[in-house]
Amino acid sequence: MKPFVLLSSAKSKDDHPLRRSFQGSVRLSSGLILLSFSRHCVQSEAREGRCCIANPNFISTTSTLNLYSPLSEKLNILSEFSKSVGCVLQVSPLGGDLEGPYLYNIYLPVQHIEFFHINHFENNYHRIPPPAGLSHFIDFFWETRFENLWNKYPNGFSDAQFPNIGYTYIINLGTPFVMQVNDKKFDMKTDGFLPRYNAIECFHQPGNHFFGIKFRISPVIFEKKVDFSEYHGYVFPLSYLLDQAVIDKVKKAASFEERTGILSKYFLSVLAAYEGSLHPVNIVSKILEQCFQKNQFTVSVEDLAAQYKISSRTLQRYFEMCTGISSKQALQVMRIRKATAHLANSPKDFHYSLYGYYDHSHFYKHLKQFLQENTLKNMEPHLKLLETLHKKEGR
């Protein structure tokens, strides 16, 4: 984590004790200067002794600081600003003089982003596929492996992921954490159930340790009357859907393998009780699997419904009940995620037509809509992928 913004009363950056660290400065009308460590970090504006501090990467969060106000008021504003964007504020007097001037350090946590920081997600999350009997329902079991990261990130880091289909069960094996769903942040002290049709960002601190399951569809709706269309934009207590006794057993398990074994056995027993039933879950899970494997992302709901001799309205109700979203939304999320993963991992053999896009512009529009989520305010990630794609198209 590197210093993000510094405010001091030095006349210039050359007068500052830490002058060798600075990359730029802005003189304010009050005699203070705004010192920035990065050309992308700070926009400043000085009018009548007021400084507007805005991080362009978090452009919706702007704080106005009256530079003549008491220290306590400055601290309150800077504290709220740093808190709202997930930063850490540190204040210290320069030269040991408690009367000031003061140095304000705002630290911005490192953010890892799905599809871009591939090594981070592959190396620091243990993932294994489910048993064959659960493969239509569960994408993978996972557990964090952050033990070797805290020396590198002593003040924490965040992991951001784009919208997906299905749900994530999170069993907290460590200390409390913060989960952001779109623009809403949730202080998580226990276990959670997270619908994945939103961009999410998890803010990690030393002591965090999670075990989880990524579902396409949760088998729990075989035995519980749950309509997942009612669950949107929040993190819900996991005990709503999973018996507390099962959760407690998982927490007491000694290893990742033991935890996956407990839950695999539990969910297989749930499926066995409903074997052979033409339940909506079976229909939706088979459609999702077929469309994903064959890249059939543009098939109409009418054609899908005809395969199971049901009406399109009935199939839409099944999708909303099982996934929380419509069939079209589900297929389009699967489509752009698969295409984006292909582009990020193997750009040389990527072509938009593999995923049913008419041309490059059609794919560009969908990619931009998908990647430019509010959760990822500190960069425009689609530009990195599109740079790769444009180079390929220009040959």
pLDDT in tens, 290-338: 999 999 999 999 999 999 999 999 999 999 888 888 999 999 999 999 9
Least confident of 83-97, 107-121, 147-161, 204-218: 83-97
3-class DSSP state for residue 331? helix
C-alpha to C-alpha distance for 147 and 210, rounded to whole angstroms = 12
Cβ contact 102:33 at 8 Å: no
Q: Give the whole-angstrom CA distance, residue 256 versus residue 176.
A: 20
Q: Are residues 93 and 121 part of one domain?
A: no
Residue 192 forms part of a structural domain: yes
Q: Is 284 inside a domain boundary?
A: no
- Band (pLDDT 50/70/90 cuts) for residue 288 is very high
Residue numbers of the domain that contains 58:
5-108
The last residue of a domain, from among 258, 274, 290: 274
Order of strands across the sheet that contains 200-204: 110-113, 157-161, 200-204, 177-181, 184-188
For residue 108, count CB atoms less than 10 angstroms from its CB and return exposed for 0-12, middle for 13-18, buried for 19 or more: buried
Q: Residue 48 has what DSSP assignment?
A: T
Asked which of 87-91, 125-129, 302-306 is least confident by mean pLDDT, the reply is 87-91
Choice among 51-55, 194-198, 248-252 with the minimum mean pLDDT: 51-55
Whether residue 283 has pLDDT greater than 80: yes
Residue 49 — very low, low, confident or very high, per pLDDT cuts 50/70/90?
A: very low
Verify that 118 and 261 share a domain, yes or no: yes
Q: Which of 56, 85, 108 is the C-terminal boundary of a domain? A: 108
Both 188 and 252 in one domain: the answer is yes
Higher pLDDT residue, 280 or 98?
A: 280
Tokens read off for 22? 């600075």
What percent of the chain lies above the pLDDT cut of 70? 62
Which tokens is 269 given?
């027993």
Q: Where are the alpha helices (DSSP H) in the chain?
A: 71-84, 118-123, 244-252, 256-272, 280-294, 301-307, 312-323, 327-345, 360-371, 381-393
Mean pLDDT of the chain: 74
| Same-domain check for residues 129 and 265 | yes
Is there a single domain that holds both residue 57 and residue 120? Answer: no
Confidence check: pLDDT of 344 > 80 = yes
- Asked, for residue 100, whether it belongs to a domain, the answer is yes
Query: Going along 28-114, which residue ranges are E strands?
Result: 33-36, 46-47, 50-54, 62-66, 88-93, 102-107, 110-113
Per the structure, the count of domains in the chain is 2
Which of 108, 143, 171 corresponds to the end of one domain?
108
pLDDT digits (tens, 9 = 90+) for 162-206: 999 988 999 999 999 999 988 788 889 899 988 888 889 999 999
Both 101 and 118 in one domain: the answer is no
Same domain, yes or no: 104 and 116: no
pLDDT for 371 equals 77
- Is 73 a residue whose pLDDT tops 60? yes
Residues 60 and 171 in one domain: no
Residue 319 lies in a domain: no
Tokens of 169: 């069960």
Residues listed for the chain: 395
Same domain, 257 and 140: yes
Prior bond to 280 cis, omega within 30?
no
Can you tell me the mean pLDDT for 342-350?
85
The verdict on residue 219 lying in a domain is yes
Q: What is the pLDDT of residue 229?
A: 65
With a CB cutoff of 8 Å and minimum separation 6, the contacts of 360 are: 352, 389, 393
> 134 with 269, same domain?
yes
